[in-house]
Amino acid sequence: MAKEKNMDLDMSGLDVEGFDDLFANEEEILDESEPKATVVEKRPLSFFHRLPVNLSLEVASTEIPLEELMTLAEGAVVQMNKLSHQPLDVKVNGILIGAAEVVIVDGQYGLRMTEVFDDINWSKLA
């Protein structure tokens, strides 16, 4: 019986105004029926048209041990994975989208696309 008295809460000093609003939707919380379907409107791809992306032109790449990299000196030559006449990789945000060759435009480097891959998911590039 003593345990029951200790479990009683003294609510005399507690501000309970607003509790009705807090628990007003209790039926929805306890509802275990199927969740309601939410309709999400898909945005057209044009939503991304003005989003800036990082476009890069990769000449070639190679993998070398860190020890070898640390011993490189001025004038050292590292063989890469492409031949001199092969097109360069064009990447958007690190994802390969096609191939190109280097051109000069008004004294600056540029690229001429030689191939754009068909299977690009453009929405993943943003």
Residue 40: which CATH number? 2.30.330.10
Distance CA 100, CA 19 (A): 66
- Position 78: which residue type? V
Within a domain: 9: no
pTM of the predicted structure, to 2 decimals: 0.53
Within a domain: 7: no
Distance CA 8, CA 19 (A): 19
Helix (H, G, I), strand (E, B), or coil: what is residue 47? Answer: helix
Per-residue pLDDT band for 25 (boundaries 50, 70, 90) equals low
As for how many domains the chain has, the answer is: 1
Within a domain: 35: yes
User: Which residue range(s) make up the domain with 27?
Assistant: 15-125
Per-residue pLDDT band for 13 (boundaries 50, 70, 90) equals low
C-alpha of 23 from chain center: 38
Summarize pLDDT for 100-125 with one digit per residue, the tens: 999 999 999 999 999 999 887 776 76
Distance CA 81, CA 58 (A): 11
For the chain, how long is the longest CA-to-CA vector? Answer: 94
Alpha helices in the chain (DSSP H): 2-7, 19-22, 26-30, 66-70
Residue 18: both structure tokens together: 């607003």
